[in-house]
């Protein structure tokens, strides 16, 4: 809960210091890879609305492996002990979560090593709702990215490119369709094409990819080519993103509340958009 005047003060502070300064730190974080660092965009931004892009995590939230992504074991109970506390048993890659470079590399950056300057970034939202409705295995293409740039200009340096496929709301309204598992066991949901990921990697300066489905690669993928291109290049990913229908295609900022857990390959994240 914000005290009176708090929001105005935060907004003023953000405007004063220039929201996306810090290119030097961003560059240092990528020095270990052969890939040019996404330079942070030097612009001043303010915001009037805060949007939660995070699903509530529970035992029931659909997962890639079909097992509960989190289990709760009660350790202390208020009535008996005077306070409540649970022991969590949690999968790193379930619910709204981060994929750190280490997820698909032998020695890439772990979640705790990601520079914070790369976790507060401009948000570009690619709307493919109509296409995914028609083709559940839809892959965001280079043409989709070109269309976004025609409407909104060049993708901002250091941004996160998010796929809005409409899958986000299925996670709670229709979990079976969200997973899309057919009789043969193959899953069906949209993702990013490897070609689009490769183009973003080499032609634009993008810090992260985000999807409102379960994986950066689409459901039927067996080789996870988008993961294999993207994460080893020192970039991060976000999966199971919520509420992308509540943010504009351009102009918002994303705050990635990534877990700072030693050597984590990813983990539950709180995603907040400043609009």
Q: How far is the CB of 167 from Zn ion (least distance, A)?
A: 15
Share in percent of the chain as helix, strand, coil (round to 5): 30, 20, 45
Binding site for Zn ion (CB under 5 A): 93, 99, 239
Determine the Cα–Cα distance for residues 26 and 119; give it in Å rounded to an integer: 10
Q: How far is the CB of 76 from Zn ion (least distance, A)?
A: 31
- Relative to beta strand 236-239, strand 206-211 is parallel
Q: How far is the CB of 35 from Zn ion (least distance, A)?
A: 20
- Number of alpha carbons in the 13 Å side-chain half-sphere of residue 27: 6
Determine the Cα–Cα distance for residues 185 and 33; give it in Å rounded to an integer: 37
- Other CB atoms closer than 10 Å to residue 75's CB: what's the count? 11
Q: Which is nearer to Zn ion, 14 or 91 (CB)?
A: 91
- Relative to beta strand 159-164, strand 120-127 is parallel
Do 61 and 55 meet the contact criterion of CB atoms below 8 Å apart? yes
Q: How far is the CB of 262 from Zn ion (least distance, A)?
A: 18
Q: Which is nearer to Zn ion, 144 or 239 (CB)?
A: 239
Q: Which is nearer to Zn ion, 40 or 209 (CB)?
A: 209
Q: How far is the CB of 265 from Zn ion (least distance, A)?
A: 8
Contacts of 214 (CB under 8 A, 6+ apart): 62, 63, 64, 178, 179, 187, 189, 239, 240
Q: How far is the CB of 97 from Zn ion (least distance, A)?
A: 6
Q: Which is nearer to Zn ion, 20 or 167 (CB)?
A: 167
Q: Which is nearer to Zn ion, 102 or 170 (CB)?
A: 102
Q: How far is the CB of 36 from Zn ion (least distance, A)?
A: 25
Do 94 and 69 meet the contact criterion of CB atoms below 8 Å apart? yes
Q: Which is nearer to Zn ion, 99 or 205 (CB)?
A: 99
Determine the Cα–Cα distance for residues 146 and 19; give it in Å rounded to an integer: 26
Q: Which is nearer to Zn ion, 99 or 144 (CB)?
A: 99
- Other CB atoms closer than 10 Å to residue 212's CB: what's the count? 32
Q: Minimal CB distance to Zn ion: which residue?
A: 93
Do 46 and 15 meet the contact criterion of CB atoms below 8 Å apart? yes
């Amino acid at each position: 809960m914000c005290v009176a005047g708090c929001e105005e003060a935060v907004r003023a502070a953000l405007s004063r210091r220039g929201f996306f300064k810090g290119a030097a730190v961003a560059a240092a974080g990528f020095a270990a890879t052969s890939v040019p660092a996404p330079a942070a965009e030097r612009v001043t931004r303010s915001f009037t609305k805060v949007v939660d892009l995070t699903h509530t995590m529970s035992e029931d939230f659909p997962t890639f492996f079909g097992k509960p992504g989190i289990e709760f074991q009660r350790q202390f109970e208020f009535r008996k002990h005077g306070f409540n506390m649970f022991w969590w048993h949690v999968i790193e890659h379930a619910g709204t979560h981060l994929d750190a470079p280490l997820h698909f590399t032998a020695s890439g950056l772990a979640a705790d090593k990601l520079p914070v300057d790369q976790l507060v970034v401009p948000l570009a939202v690619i709307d493919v709702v109509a296409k995914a409705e028609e083709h559940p295995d839809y892959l965001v293409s280079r043409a989709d990215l070109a269309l976004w740039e025609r409407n909104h200009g060049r993708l901002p340096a250091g941004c996160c490119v998010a796929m809005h496929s409409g899958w986000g709301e299925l996670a709670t309204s229709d979990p079976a369709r969200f997973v899309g598992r057919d009789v043969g066991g193959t899953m069906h949901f949209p993702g990013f094409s490897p070609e689009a990921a490769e183009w973003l990697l080499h032609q634009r300066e993008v810090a992260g990819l985000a999807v409102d489905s379960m994986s950066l690669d689409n459901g039927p993928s067996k080789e996870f080519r988008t993961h294999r291109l993207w994460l080893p290049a020192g970039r991060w990913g976000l999966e199971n993103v919520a509420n992308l229908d509540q943010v504009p295609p351009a102009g918002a900022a994303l705050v990635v509340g990534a877990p700072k857990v030693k050597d984590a390959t990813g983990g539950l994240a709180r995603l907040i958009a400043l609009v």
